[in-house]
């Protein structure tokens, strides 16, 4: 009887290890993006800010793709991130690019910066509703210069 219990337990462990190995690649890609980043990725940008190394990514240009999580205003939205990946969405600011809708897949190319409401307002010549943007103060964002919609994964 003891052998049977050990045999079953080994089979269970083997099954769980196989399941974990099969699902890990799928889960690690969840939510962070829609793929096709160049140079930087959403998770890497947030990690640099969290570890106090923002200067390693600020000023860097990258291409980020992901689903629009929140369309905040005609000039700002967030992409990527979800509850499964643990990655926060990345704020995108753009003045002259097309508007977006939530859950739309987009690819954005731009420069990573640290969000400062007053500086952003001055740079793009728009007054933002402070209550909508104060949660982004000091966080990373991308000043977009190019965006495409409905990118293929």
- In eight-state DSSP terms, residue 56 is G
pLDDT in tens, the chain (153 residues): 555 555 555 554 554 444 444 443 333 333 444 555 556 899 999 999 999 999 999 999 999 999 999 999 999 999 998 777 778 999 999 888 888 999 999 999 999 999 999 999 999 999 999 999 999 999 999 999 999 987 565
For 125-134, letters b (16+ CB in 10 Å) and e give eeebeeeebe
pTM equals: 0.74
60/134 Cα distance (integer angstroms): 23
CATH class of segment(s) 42-149: mainly beta
Q: Where are the domains of the chain?
A: 1-28, 42-149
């Amino acid at each position: 009887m003891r052998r049977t219990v050990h045999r079953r337990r080994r089979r269970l462990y083997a099954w769980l290890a196989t399941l974990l190995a099969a699902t890990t690649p799928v889960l690690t890609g969840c939510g962070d993006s829609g793929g096709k980043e160049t140079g930087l990725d959403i998770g890497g940008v947030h990690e640099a800010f969290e570890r106090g190394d923002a200067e390693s990514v600020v000023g860097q240009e990258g291409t980020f793709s992901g689903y629009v999580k929140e369309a905040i205003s005609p000039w700002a939205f967030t992409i990527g991130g979800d509850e499964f990946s643990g990655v926060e969405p990345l704020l995108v600011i753009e003045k002259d690019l097309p508007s977006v809708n939530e859950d739309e897949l987009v690819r954005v190319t731009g420069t990573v910066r640290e969000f400062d409401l007053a500086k952003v307002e001055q740079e793009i010549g728009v007054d933002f509703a402070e209550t909508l943007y104060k949660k982004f103060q000091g966080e990373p964002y991308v000043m977009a210069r190019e965006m495409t919609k409905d990118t293929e994964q």
